[in-house]
């Protein structure tokens, strides 16, 4: 690396995270820059296609009760092409009707890696803040989209569901977790009826405690309002950037 003072190209690099001033080999990229790009893409691809390992998450959750569900998407290829199937439970799915206040769903989404690395950390940080809420067993969901939480929440009979789900990996963020809160979950809910906290991935993104406090505040707001989504945002609950 060259110090800013010695390298005129460093002016560009200092100004943006974009991949500027890479240099060229002929009309192509120099080998080292090409390999950096490939590694970033490979990490994102691996994060998408890594098999979801519920045992990893169970172990990290300690002695919390856990349920498992699968969506109607049979495999990763079908999951990627049929988002509608990822929002429906597999044929024959049955969940106990607990009638609790809240269910927390840990869903693989587009980055099982994000759930492996941050799912239990965020879930336990959140549950620690929820005095006065009865909480159903944590649900681990395979080949799941955010909307699967609606069916899960309805089956459990809970008043609210929080889905912690692996977000679509970017080149510089393969392990980002998102949290989606839906009040009165049932199939047919639309995205404008949810609130979202995204980019949970310490140390680069949001930390567990900070994200958990925001989600807990949103839950309290949703309970007071009897609704989530745009209406809740309009009440002035601040969402973190990202």
Partner 1 sequence: MTVRRTTLGGHTYEFPSLVELLAKATPARSGDVLAGCAAGSAAERVAAQTVLADLPLATFLDEQVVGYDEDDVTRLIVDTHDAAAFAPVASLTVGEFRDRLLAWAADGDEPAISALAPGLTPEMVAAVSKLMRNADLIAVGRRARVVTRLRSTLGLPGRLASRLQPNHPTDDPLGVTASVVDGLLQGSGDAVIGINPATDSPAQTVALLELLDAVITRYGIPTQSCVLAHVTTTLRALEQGAPVDLVFQSVAGTQEANRGFGVTLDLLAEARAGALELGRGTVGRNVTYFETGQGSALSAGAHLGVGGRPVDQQTLECRAYAVARHFEPLLVNTVVGFIGPEYLYDGKQVIRAGLEDHFCGKLLGLPMGVDVCYTNHAEVDADDTDTLTVLLAAAGCSFVIAVPGSDDVMLHYQSLSFSDVLTARQVLGLRPAPEFEEWLARMDLLDDDGRVRALAPDAPAAKALLAAAQP
Least distance in angstroms from the C-beta of 77 to partner 1: 8
Chain positions 64 to 103 lying near partner 1, rule: CB under 8 A, are 80-84
Residues 1, 3, 5, 18: which binds partner 1 (CB under 8 A)? Answer: 18
Residues 39, 96, 97, 170: which binds partner 1 (CB under 8 A)? Answer: 170
Q: Could you tell me the maximum CA-CA distance found in the chain, to the nearest angstrom?
A: 67
Q: What is the spatial distance between Cα 43 and Cα 215, in angstroms, rounded to a whole number?
A: 28
Secondary structure of 32-92 in the HEC alphabet?
A: HHHHHHHHHHHHHHHHHHCCCCHHHHHHHHCCCCEEEEEECCCCHHHHHHCHHHHCCECCC
Comparing CB distances to partner 1, the nearer of 135 and 141 is 141
Q: What is the spatial distance between Cα 161 and Cα 148, in angstroms, rounded to a whole number?
A: 10
CB atoms within 10 A of CB 128: 12
Comparing CB distances to partner 1, the nearer of 3 and 94 is 3
> Does residue number 15 form part of the binding site for partner 1 (CB under 8 A)?
yes
Residues 33-62, one symbol each (x = binds partner 1 by CB under 8 A, - = not), give: x---xx-xx--xx-xx--------------
> Does residue number 169 form part of the binding site for partner 1 (CB under 8 A)?
yes
Comparing CB distances to partner 1, the nearer of 150 and 167 is 167
Which residues, at least 6 apart from 43, have a Cβ–Cβ distance to it below 8 Å?
Answer: 169, 174
Comparing CB distances to partner 1, the nearer of 50 and 135 is 50
Q: Give the footprint of partner 1 on this chain (CB under 8 A).
A: 7-9, 11-24, 27-29, 33, 37-38, 40-41, 44-45, 47-48, 80-84, 110, 168-172
């Amino acid at each position: 690396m060259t110090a800013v003072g010695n390298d005129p190209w460093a002016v560009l690099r200092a100004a943006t995270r974009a991949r500027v001033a890479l240099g060229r080999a002929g009309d192509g990229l120099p080998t080292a820059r090409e390999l950096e790009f490939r590694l970033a893409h490979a990490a994102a691809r691996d994060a998408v296609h890594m098999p979801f390992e519920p045992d990893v998450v169970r172990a990290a959750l300690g002695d919390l009760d856990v349920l498992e569900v699968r969506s109607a998407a049979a495999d990763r290829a079908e999951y990627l092409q049929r988002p509608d199937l990822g929002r429906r439970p597999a044929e024959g799915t049955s969940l106990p009707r607990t009638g609790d206040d809240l269910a927390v769903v840990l869903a693989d989404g587009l980055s099982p890696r994000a759930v492996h690395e941050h799912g239990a950390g965020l879930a336990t940080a959140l549950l620690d803040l929820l005095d006065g809420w009865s909480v159903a067993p944590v649900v681990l969901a395979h080949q799941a989209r955010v909307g699967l939480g609606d069916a899960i929440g309805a089956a459990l009979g809970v008043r609210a569901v929080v889905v912690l789900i692996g977000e679509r990996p970017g080149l510089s963020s393969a392990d980002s977790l998102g949290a989606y809160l839906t009040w009165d979950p049932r199939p047919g809910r639309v995205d404008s009826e949810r609130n979202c906290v995204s980019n949970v991935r310490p140390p680069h993104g949001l930390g567990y405690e900070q994200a958990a406090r925001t989600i807990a505040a949103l839950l309290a707001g949703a309970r007071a309002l009897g609704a989530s989504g745009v209406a809740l945002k309009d009440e002035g609950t601040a969402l973190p950037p990202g």
